[in-house]
Amino acid sequence: MKFSEAEENYIKSIYHLQLSNNKVSATLLAAAVNTKAASVTDMLKKLQLKKLINYKPYQSFTLTDKGNKVALDIIRKHRLWEFFLVSKLGFKWDEVHAIAEELEHISSEELILRLDNFLDNPSFDPHGDPIPDRNGKIKFIPQKNLSAAPLKKELIVSSIKDQSSEMLELLKHYHIGIGTKMKINKRFDFDGSVEIKIDKLPVAIVSEQMAKNIFCKI
Amino acid sequence: MKFSEAEENYIKSIYHLQLSNNKVSATLLAAAVNTKAASVTDMLKKLQLKKLINYKPYQSFTLTDKGNKVALDIIRKHRLWEFFLVSKLGFKWDEVHAIAEELEHISSEELILRLDNFLDNPSFDPHGDPIPDRNGKIKFIPQKNLSAAPLKKELIVSSIKDQSSEMLELLKHYHIGIGTKMKINKRFDFDGSVEIKIDKLPVAIVSEQMAKNIFCKI
DNA sequence: TAATATATTTAGACGAATCTAATAATTATT
DNA sequence: AATAATTATTAGATTCGTCTAAATATATTA
Ligand SMILES: [Mn+2]
Ligand SMILES: [Mn+2]
Ligand SMILES: [Mn+2]
Ligand SMILES: [Mn+2]
């Protein structure tokens, strides 16, 4: 079954919201797809008709199994394209999101299969997020953010939650990227800030807000 | 200025029709974009408002300079993507058109710049059609079809006009592709058919219809 | 629990792109 | 030049995705 670009964007956003906020509201979804709540309601009815979501008016909604599969398929495409853009075309990891947002809607199955192969079947995108395989299976990595990870242990940055350009700017300033190795020296209770040590760099302190968005393999 | 996918498809089709049929009619255009003449009329008005075509009701229309630039930009994207699909992903030349038809609408300038570079700035797509450079400049090759090319001279197939799957099937059967070397032995006046000789293959006869669609460097 | 605040849905409209059927203009043919 | 055939345009709908404003349901809190 084929879906419109709008439908795909809604589905994908519901998936993401479900992961982080587990209760998905019309208002949250509206913000995610950059539209108004009224438009969301309209779309929810369509998605329900197509059996992509479970939805009763005035109640929060969830993806059906079918909806979940569709979401994973779009996310797979999005992340494979991001990987392509960074690894083959030399884009920086903070430049690829908007382009992948378009590319993810190209419909050819065969294209994605071949792209996946061309890229040597990567498991993680440039932001450290897992790329679902063609069956929607995701390679799960146990990870903890800097507010939860253990002290004095070698950590490897594995993904960044908030991928806004503001966040990515700050990361660049700290010389932090996917794969960066660091140790946590100390956590400060007063403001939740965290002192970290990266290889040859002087110690640095990151805010709690930032720490919560930086995930590491443990 | 950004254009919708529909607008881009119309513009591109007008460009192509202008090249081959030089008088572009609403009916022809309707067939090319797979729609009805009434819809074409509606779109023509929009394109005129955006100064992409010269159009007076009931008269035939042409692209403006601006329209021409837009067309060349889309064609550039289409052909670069086709080149990518064949050279990097291993698609056959008869499998890429439909996919490029979608990819050509991805909007990022930077993406195309980098793709072009990644592909080593190719001048011709897998069907032998020239790829406009970023300024819309096209590398022109003098070529003649098999109904017009000289006899007994070494010819190199440089492009195929009709790129329907039927045509491409037939070409495969004859072992003819871009770059194939051949000589014309004889042309038959009765039906316009042409006897050709390809390197190690036995002589073969192609129909006039086919001959007119196979272009060679001379 | 009743009042208030917040979130969601409906009603009604709009722009884009399409369609069919009817009409009008152009072109070709007697 | 008049008629017939062809082609193009308009009129009126439809579908999709969106909007604002009004109405309604749910959640909060006094
Ligand atoms: Mn998208
Ligand atoms: Mn990503
Ligand atoms: Mn297209
Ligand atoms: Mn081509």
**List of domains in chain A:** 5-63 (1.10.10.10), 143-217 (2.30.30.90)
Average pLDDT over residues B178-196: 96
Average pLDDT over residues B111-117: 98
Q: Is the CB of B57 under 7 A from strand D?
A: yes
Q: Is B96 on the interface with A (CB under 8 A)?
A: no
Residue A92: strand, helix, or coil = coil
- Residue A37: nearest nucleotide (C-alpha to C1'): C8
Average pLDDT over residues B68-81: 98
Ligand 4 centroid to B97 CA: how many Å?
Answer: 6
Average pLDDT over residues B123-128: 96
Distance from B72 to chain A by nearest Cα, in Å?
Answer: 21
Closest-approach residue (CA) in chain A for B100: A106
- Residue B13 token pair: 């089709």
Strands A62-63 and B194-198: unpaired
Average pLDDT over residues B1-11: 96
Chain A residues within an 8 Å CB radius of B90: 114
Interface of A with B in 158-177 (CB under 8 A): none
Residue A99, pLDDT above cutoff 80? yes
Contact A15, A71 (CB under 8 A): yes
Average pLDDT over residues B57-64: 94
Chain B residues within an 8 Å CB radius of A97: none
Average pLDDT over residues A64-76: 98
Cross-chain Cβ contact A108/B115 below 8 Å = no
Closest-approach residue (CA) in chain B for A120: B89
Bases of chain D within 7 A of a CB of the protein? 7-12, 16-22, 25-26
Chain B interface test: which of A91, A108, A116 (most B C-beta within 10 Å): A108
Question: What's the pLDDT band for B218 if we cut at 50, 70, 90?
Answer: confident
pLDDT at B164: 86
- Residue A59 token pair: 């109640």
- B98: burial class by Cβ within 10 Å (0-12, 13-18, 19+)? exposed
Provide the strand spans (E) within chain A: 53-54, 62-63, 143-145, 155-160, 181-187, 194-198, 204-206, 214-217
Question: What's the pLDDT band for A165 if we cut at 50, 70, 90?
Answer: confident
Kindly report the pTM of this predicted structure: 0.93
Question: What's the pLDDT band for A21 if we cut at 50, 70, 90?
Answer: confident
User: How many CA atoms within 13 Å lie on the side-chain side of B186?
Assistant: 8
Q: Is A115 on the interface with B (CB under 8 A)?
A: yes
**Cα–Cα distance measured from residue A187 to residue A202, given in angstroms and rounded to the nearest whole number:** 17
Contact A4, A12 (CB under 8 A): no
| Closest among B212, B114, B194 to B151, alpha carbons compared | B194
Contact A11, A74 (CB under 8 A): yes
Closest-approach residue (CA) in chain A for B103: A106
**Cα–Cα distance measured from residue B198 to residue B176, given in angstroms and rounded to the nearest whole number:** 9
**Cα–Cα distance measured from residue B81 to residue B103, given in angstroms and rounded to the nearest whole number:** 7
Measure CB to CB from residue B107 to each of A85, A102, A108 and give the nearest one: A102
